[in-house]
Structure 1
Amino acid sequence: MYHVVVGVDDETERALRCAEEVVGLPGGPEEKSVTLIHAFVDNPNGASATQVQSVREAADYLEENGIEYQIEESSGDPADAIVTTADREDANLILVGGRKRSPAGKALFGSVTQSVILGAERPVMVTGVE
């Protein structure tokens, strides 16, 4: 079984692009499993990851394509949550959605994708940028 950890933020398009990439990986649906991880940076209402639209839509897409998945949630730094989940699950691949940022934006706000790439000890795949 090929296990993929997918970092899902609040952006539905990025989440669906990641789910599409999982479906497009070599092998049939029965050969893949996915952990969708959503990290809450701020969650004053106490929502769960299953209530986040981007997570639900990615999960629905995987289910429609016959791929087994589970949903995890965390709080705090998203990059740490993604890497920690991948390590705990001994994932074969981490998949995250990229996005365009100006050099100043990267310096000021950091980049979850960049942090995952630098912090992971396993392959990281980045989907196309917006």
Structure 2
Amino acid sequence: MVILAAVSESEQSREIALEADALAAAFDDEVHLIHVTDESEYTRTVERQSESRQEGSGDVAEAAAAEAVEDFLEELDAETKVVSRIGTPGKKIVEYADEVDARYLVIGGRSRSPVGKALFGSVTQSVLLNTERPVVTITASD
């Protein structure tokens, strides 16, 4: 089975990946690290590359995923796969978890005010509300 860890460019991603790795060791599972690039960021990046006429830059989403995990990927003991998706992060994480029948999802979270949650939404909240799978949340340490 798969332990799915949602990673980003945040420093918290290392902790998320290490927790997924520990779960994978306990269950003899593999780890999939998913990085989701939202559509607007993807479009801006492609436009910037087009304007500067960069060629051979590869897929933007795959490059972002590789960059998000490059600092800690070698620290993981479990068999690990890095996955990139483009779209709404919460939705894409849940869809991929269903696709691979993930045993657990490991995601990050942070403290937010009720107003902040109402105005800006939350990937963590979206995942928690839209999956029936067990979710392990790693909170940011201040």
Amino acid at match of 1:22: A
Q: How does 1:21-36 map to 2 (within 5 A)?
A: 21-25=19-23, 27=25, 31-36=28-33
2:36 pairs with one of 39, 49, 61: 39
Structure 2 unaligned residues grouped into runs of 5+? 47-59
Q: How does 1:52-71 map to 2 (within 5 A)?
A: 52=65, 53-62=67-76, 66-71=77-82
Kindly report the root-mean-square deviation, in angstroms, between the aligned alpha carbons of the 2 structures: 2.0
Structure 1 unaligned residues grouped into runs of 5+? none
**Structure 2 CA distance, aligned partners of 1:27 and 1:102?**
35
Tell me the TM-score normalised to structure 2 length: 0.77
- Structure 1 range deviating more: 119-128 or 16-25: 16-25
Matched-pair contact (CA < 8 Å) for 1:95–1:126:
yes
**Structure 2 CA distance, aligned partners of 1:6 and 1:117?**
14
Q: How does 1:1-130 map to 2 (within 5 A)?
A: 2-11=1-10, 13-25=11-23, 27=25, 31-41=28-38, 42-43=41-42, 44-46=44-46, 47-52=60-65, 53-62=67-76, 66-130=77-141
Where has structure 1 moved over 6 Å in runs of 4 or more? none
Larger radius of gyration: 2
Matched pairs, number: 124
Tell me the TM-score normalised to structure 1 length: 0.83
Residue 91 (structure 1) shift: 0.6
**Structure 2 CA distance, aligned partners of 1:74 and 1:16?**
19
